[in-house]
Amino acid sequence: TAVAAPEKLILAGQLLEVQSGKLRANQAILLEQDRIHSIVPIATLTSEQQALPSTDLTGYTVLPGLIDMHVHLTANPAQHGYRRLQQTPARQALFGVTAAKATVEAGFTTVRNLGAAGFADVDLRDAINAGEITGPRMRVSGPSLCMTGGHCDNNLLPHTYQASGDGVANGADAIRAKVRSNMKYGADVIKFTATGGVLSRNTDVNASQYSLAEMQALVAEAKDRGAIVAAHAHGLRGIKRALEAGVDSIEHASFIDDDAIKLAKRNGTFLVMDIYVSDYILQEGEAAGILPESLAKERTVGQLQRQNFSKAVKAGLNIAYGTDAGVYTHGLNARQLNYMVQWGMTPLQAIQSATINAATLLNWRNEQGQLNVGVLQAGAYADMVAVKGNPLEQITLLEAIPVVIKGGEVVKQP
Ligand code: ARG
């Protein structure tokens, strides 16, 4: 292979190395196409390198672009409950165009989209990758899998209408077939629901969905296809069963207890706990069409989930950042960082959850086996954000990020 030379550079006043939490002053990030070629002190640049086109961020602290591991870019947060019935997958994809722009402009240069009807998420991802629209790098699941009547099913209408969710599958064989079908149509990851949910009609957040055998078949098939598995689970039994089946992440994890925390720790399973969204649901949800029964469920979930988040942090579990944006306003993804600090993380831990931890869970790597995102190091995509000041001292700086760079291209600047 040809020895590639850097083509441009970014000058950083300070650079936050998220693995160690070290701030390094006056660093030059050398770029080769859309990736990082190398990072060196500005003082050591050769005269040839100094002559390259550069972006001056010497007045800023630069850190990796943020990652949200649980979003629904095709979901309109103003249209919950029965209003969703008006939305075709095409309409949802079109809505996703604005959501994708808001998300990347907020500094989230990578997202994992967990559940979309009609593979609208695949189309959105592909339009972004083709350069037709502006948005984050997307890793997508296609339709979430679940049992008949489960959280991902359409339970809003009586039998007459024969409505059901795209991801419904029952029994090990049908589940394997559904995983294969999702992969065939462009999914990168597999999402299923292991318990009822808050926002679905007529499901119980405490009730398990899928047997252990069904979950094991799902996980085995996903592994054979090279996909990671995300399990939505609020209730304890569903959490434990999903952990036992070997999923990569538990989403929500609301009612996790000490035993399950131990099991997650032993297995290295990640928790993705959306501890901001409860405030939105309870304050804005009714006006957005969220059903009264969902509001009632949320009142049983939100605070306990936050308390259990604190326990998980104390226990040293792997925690990756995920917000469920789409349930609430796109582009406000960073709000949860401060909640995580209020509930027991250091600012560095919160930033790690949204960078290196998320990237480790995603396990998305280049040909050399290096992480594509979540770190500023050679081989990764040149995705970064810059703020004035020190986010380790003031985490809320990340709620209004002035500079966003994705693949070496400036997406947003003051
Ligand atoms: N999509 C999730 C569900 O319907 C949202 C849960 C939000 N509530 C919370 N406390 N995290 O179950």
| SS (HEC) of the chain | CCCCCCCEEEEEEEEEECCCCEEEEEEEEEEECCEEEEEEEHHHCCHHHHCCCEEEEEEEEEEECEEEEEECCCCCCCCCHHHHHHCCHHHHHHHHHHHHHHHHHCCEEEEEECCCHHHHHHHHHHHHHCCCCCCCEEEECCCCEECCCCCCCCCCCCHHHCCCCCCECCCHHHHHHHHHHHHHCCCCCEEEECECCCCCCCCCCCCECCCHHHHHHHHHHHHHCCCCEEEEECCHHHHHHHHHHCCCEEEECCCCCHHHHHHHHHHCCEEECCCCHHHHHHHHCCCCCCCHHHHHHHHHHHHHHHHHHHHHHHCCCEECCCCCECCECCCCCCHHHHHHHHCCCCHHHHHHHCCHHHHHHHCCECCCCCECCCCCCCCCECCEEEECCCCCCCHHHHHCCCEEEECCEEEECC
Name which residue sits closest to atom 6 of ligand 1, judged by CA. 198
Residue 1: per-residue pLDDT: 42
Atom of ligand 1 nearest to the CA of 275: 11
Residue 404 has pLDDT above 80, yes or no: yes
Average pLDDT over residues 395-399: 98
Q: Is 198 in the pocket of ligand 1 (CB under 6 A)?
A: yes
Q: Is 340 in the pocket of ligand 1 (CB under 6 A)?
A: no
Question: What is the location of CATH 2.30.40.10 in the chain?
Answer: 8-65+372-412
Q: How confident is the model at residue 5 (pLDDT cuts 50, 70, 90)?
A: confident
**Residues 267 and 260 sit within 8 Å (Cβ to Cβ):** no
Atom of ligand 1 nearest to the CA of 196: 12
Q: Is 252 in the pocket of ligand 1 (CB under 6 A)?
A: yes
Mutate to test the pocket of ligand 1, among 303, 327, 336, 340 (most ligand atoms within 8 A of CB): 327
Average pLDDT over residues 371-380: 97
53 is written with which tokens?
A: 């086109």
Residue 298: per-residue pLDDT: 98
**The model scores a pTM over 0.95:** yes
pLDDT, tens digit (0-9, with 9 covering 90-100), for 335-355: 999 999 999 999 999 999 999
Q: Is 271 in the pocket of ligand 1 (CB under 6 A)?
A: no
Q: Which value does ipTM take for this structure?
A: 0.98
pLDDT, tens digit (0-9, with 9 covering 90-100), for 34-87: 999 999 999 999 999 999 999 999 999 999 999 999 999 999 999 999 999 999
**Residues 196 and 232 sit within 8 Å (Cβ to Cβ):** no
How far apart CA 70 and CA 197 sit, in angstroms, is: 15
Angle of helix 236-245 relative to helix 212-224, nearest 10 degrees? 40
User: What is the number of alpha carbons within 13 Å of residue 308 lying toward its C-beta?
Assistant: 24
Mutate to test the pocket of ligand 1, among 277, 280, 293, 335 (most ligand atoms within 8 A of CB): 277
Beta bridge partners of 250: 231, 271
CATH number, span 8-65+372-412: 2.30.40.10
**CA distance to 34, 125, 130, 139, per residue, from 186 (Å):** 23, 10, 15, 10
- Ligand 1 centroid from CA 409, angstroms: 34
Q: Is 324 in the pocket of ligand 1 (CB under 6 A)?
A: yes
Q: How confident is the model at residue 249 (pLDDT cuts 50, 70, 90)?
A: very high
Residue 241: per-residue pLDDT: 98
pLDDT > 90 fraction of the chain, expressed in percent and rounded: 99
Q: How confident is the model at residue 2 (pLDDT cuts 50, 70, 90)?
A: very low
Q: What's the mean per-residue pLDDT of the chain?
A: 97
Q: Is 274 in the pocket of ligand 1 (CB under 6 A)?
A: yes
pLDDT, tens digit (0-9, with 9 covering 90-100), for 289-328: 999 999 999 999 999 999 999 999 999 999 999 999 999 9
pLDDT > 70 fraction of the chain, expressed in percent and rounded: 99
Q: Is 195 in the pocket of ligand 1 (CB under 6 A)?
A: no
Q: Is 337 in the pocket of ligand 1 (CB under 6 A)?
A: no
Q: What are phi and psi of 404, to 5 degrees?
A: -130, 130
- Ligand 1 centroid from CA 213, angstroms: 25
- Ligand 1 centroid from CA 301, angstroms: 8
Residue 23: per-residue pLDDT: 98
Residue 3: per-residue pLDDT: 57
Q: Is 197 in the pocket of ligand 1 (CB under 6 A)?
A: yes
244 is written with which tokens?
A: 């036992």
Q: Does domain 66-342 have CATH number 2.30.30.830?
A: no
Residue 11 has pLDDT above 70, yes or no: yes
